[in-house]
């Protein structure tokens, strides 16, 4: 049976490919992520289809711009009825506050459930060498902690981080804070471009509330079987 803690990333580029995957995975998966690849290819119809199928939708467009532009974008995405969406924590306090206010006001105006907002911290494809190359002065762990604290203060509901930082964020930001971790690799999968990753059970054990899993399921020879293995692995966590 489905487990809302698993969010499957639909990183494909057509509505048809998306529908095929969702049909294949059936009742096993209740939560899907629509990211840039799919949204820029197939647009809002992707979200509408998933909602019609009774799925939860995480729209991951990683907004990062001046506060007014981000706030107006959050209003537009709120109208689509998504459950979760992302913005970059690096956009800063006023951008995050404006986004949180926009989601609150637009959902109240439409009398729909408020989408939860997630601040992206440091991407899971970045290791310490890559981090220093872009000017990182402290460690990745320190930076993620700073961004997670700022996100909470700014009215954001949770973070996207690697599972390596989940434990500290959970300790700092309390039990209700959402900690969504990509960079998940079951023992049967390859790392691909992920650098800071761990297994599904370890990530949950360390405090993640949700796991984003793409290729280990979607590119598996048998996606349904891969999803079943992951669901079995996390049953006891």
Comparing CA positions, the residue from 201, 225, 219, 195 lying closest to residue 5 is 201
Strands of the chain, DSSP E:
6-9, 31-34, 56-63, 84-88, 116-120, 158-160, 178-181, 210-213
Q: Are 4 and 56 in contact (CB under 8 A)?
A: yes
Q: Is 62 considered catalytic here?
A: yes
69 annotated to a ligand binding site: yes
CB 121, min distance to ligand OMP, A: 8
65 is catalytic: yes
Which residue among 50, 119, 160, 226 contacts ligand OMP (CB under 6 A)?
Answer: 160
Rule CB under 6 A: choose which of 142, 153, 171, 192 binds ligand OMP.
Answer: 192
Please select the residue that binds ligand OMP; options are 85, 102, 120, 178, rule is CB under 6 A.
120
Query: Of the listed 3, 62, 219, 228, which one is catalytic?
Result: 62
Residue 75 assigned as binding residue: no
Q: Which of 173, 191, 226 is nearest to 6 (CA)?
A: 226
194 marked as part of a ligand binding site: yes
- 68 belongs to an annotated ligand binding site: yes
Q: Any binding-site annotation on 124?
A: yes
As a whole number of angstroms, the distance between CA 129 and CA 172 comes to 26
Q: Which residue number, 88 or 152, has a Cβ lying nearer to ligand OMP?
A: 88
Residue 124 near ligand OMP by CB under 6 A: yes
Strands 31-34 and 84-88: unpaired
d(Cα 78, Cα 1) in Å, to the nearest integer? 29
CA 158 to chain centroid, in Å, comes to: 10
Q: Smallest gap, in angstroms, from Cβ of residue 49 to ligand OMP?
A: 18
**Choice from 12, 21, 35, 200 touching ligand OMP (CB under 6 A):** 35
DSSP H/E element including 91: none
Q: Which of residues 1-30 bind ligand OMP (CB under 6 A)?
A: 9, 11
3-state helix, strand, coil in the chain (%, to 5): 50, 15, 35
Active-site choice (17, 19, 51, 65)? 65
152 classed as catalytic: no
Annotated catalytic residue, options 60, 83, 157, 206: 60
For ligand OMP, give the closer residue by CB, 35 or 67.
Answer: 35
- Closest CA relative to residue 90, chosen from 118, 127, 60, 122: 122
Q: Detail the residues annotated as belonging to a binding site for substrate.
A: 11, 33, 60-69, 124, 185, 194, 214-215
Residues carrying an active site annotation:
60, 62, 65
User: Interface with ligand OMP by CB under 6 A: which residues?
Assistant: 9, 11, 35, 60, 86, 120, 123-124, 160, 182-183, 192, 194, 212-216
């Amino acid at each position: 049976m489905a487990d809302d803690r698993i969010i499957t990333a639909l990183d494909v580029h057509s509505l048809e490919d998306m529908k095929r995957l969702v049909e294949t995975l059936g009742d096993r998966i209740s939560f899907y992520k629509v990211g840039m690849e799919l949204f820029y290819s197939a647009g809002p119809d992707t979200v509408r289809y998933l909602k019609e199928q009774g799925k939860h939708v995480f729209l991951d467009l990683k907004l990062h711009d001046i506060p007014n532009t981000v706030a107006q974008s959050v209003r537009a995405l709120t109208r689509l009825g998504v459950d979760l969406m992302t913005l970059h924590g690096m956009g800063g306090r006023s951008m995050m506050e404006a986004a949180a206010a926009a989601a609150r006001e637009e959902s109240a105006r439409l009398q729909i459930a408020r989408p939860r907002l997630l601040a992206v911290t440091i991407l899971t494809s970045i290791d310490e060498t890559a981090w220093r190359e872009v000017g990182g002065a402290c460690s990745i762990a320190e930076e993620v902690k700073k961004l997670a604290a700022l996100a909470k203060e700014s009215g954001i509901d949770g973070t996207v981080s690697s599972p390596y930082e989940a434990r500290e964020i959970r300790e700092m930001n309390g039990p209700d804070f959402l900690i969504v971790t990509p960079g998940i690799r079951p023992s049967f999968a390859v790392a691909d471009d992920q650098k800071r990753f761990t297994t599904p059970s370890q990530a949950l054990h360390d405090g993640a509330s949700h796991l984003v899993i793409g290729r280990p399921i979607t590119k598996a020879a048998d996606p349904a079987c891969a999803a079943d293995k992951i669901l079995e692995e996390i049953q006891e966590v």
